[in-house]
Chains A and B, each alone.
Chain A
Amino acid sequence: GEDVEQSLFLSVREGDSSVINCTYTDSSSTYLYWYKQEPGAGLQLLTYIFSNMDMKQDQRLTVLLNKKDKHLSLRIADTQTGDSAIYFCAESPRTGGFKTIFGAGTRLFVKA
C-alpha cells in the first residue's frame, strides 16, 4: 500500500545545514511535497517537486528526488532557530484521486 516514512527527530546547530530524508512507496506519485508545521498550528507548504524532476532549489531550500530509490530529501542551508518545526514529507499518488499521503513528520531542533 501507500506509505511515506521519515525519521522522527533531527538536531542541528544554528548555521549548519539540515537534511531531512523521506522514502515513499508509490512510484506513480505526480507531486512530492514538504510541509512545515509550527507548534499548535496547521501545515504550510514549503516546497514541492514534480516527479519528472531530480532537484529543485528555492533560496535556502534544496529538494532532491531519487526516483529509482523512491527517496526524497530536503536540505535547509544556514539553519536558523526559526526553522525549528515539524517537517512533513507527502506524496500525491496518481491513482489516489485528490488524496495526499503524509509521513509522520520529522521534528527539527535547532540549537543556538
Chain B
Amino acid sequence: DGGITQSPKYLFRKEGQNVTLSCEQNLNHDAMYWYRQDPGQGLRLIYYSQIVNDFQKGDIAEGYSVSREKKESFPLTVTSAQKNPTAFYLCASSIGIGEQFFGPGTRLTVL
C-alpha cells in the first residue's frame, strides 16, 4: 500500500537535546512538508521541499532543520534552539500543487 509514515508516534525529549523525527513516503511525490500543530492554531508550515536536494523555510523555521537527500525521506530535526518544541508534528507530501497526503503525526513532549 502506498502511503506516508512518521515515526515515532510519541517522543519525549529532555531540554537541551536535539531530536529527529522521521517521515517516509512511497507515493513517488516530489514535494514534502513539515507542519507544527498547536491547539487552536491550526497548521503552521516549518519547512517544505519541492524536489530532492532542495528545501525552503516555512513560516516558523527557527530552531528546526531538515534534509532531503532522497525523494522518499524528509527528516526533521528539532534543535535545542527551539524554545517551545512541545507540539504535534505532521509530515505531508504532494505531487505538486494540490492535495497533500498526511502522515499520522508525531507528538513531541519536552520534559
Contacts and interface: CB of A to CB of B under 8 A. Distances in A.
A38 B13 CA distance: 25
Contacts of A30: 97
Given A40-B105, A42-B103, A97-B50, A102 B42 contact: yes
Given A30-B97, A31-B97, A48-B99, A105 B104 contact: no
B33 to A, nearest CB: 8
Given A98-B31, A103-B42, A42 B94 contact: no
Chain A binding surface SS class: loop
A94 B97 CA distance: 9
B42 A98 contact: no
Contacts of A42: 90, 92, 102-105
A100 interface: yes
The range of chain A's interface size is 20 to 34
Contacts of A97: 50, 56, 97
Contacts of B35: 102
A98 B48 contact: yes
Given A42-B90, A42-B103, A98-B48, A31 B98 contact: yes
A104 B41 CA distance: 5
Contacts of B48: 98-99
Nearest to A4: B42
Given A41-B105, A42-B103, A45-B99, A98 B40 contact: no
Nearest to B49: A98
5 contacts: A42-B104, A44-B102, A48-B98, A92-B97, A98-B48
Interface of A: 8, 30-31, 33, 40-45, 48, 88, 92, 97-100, 102-105
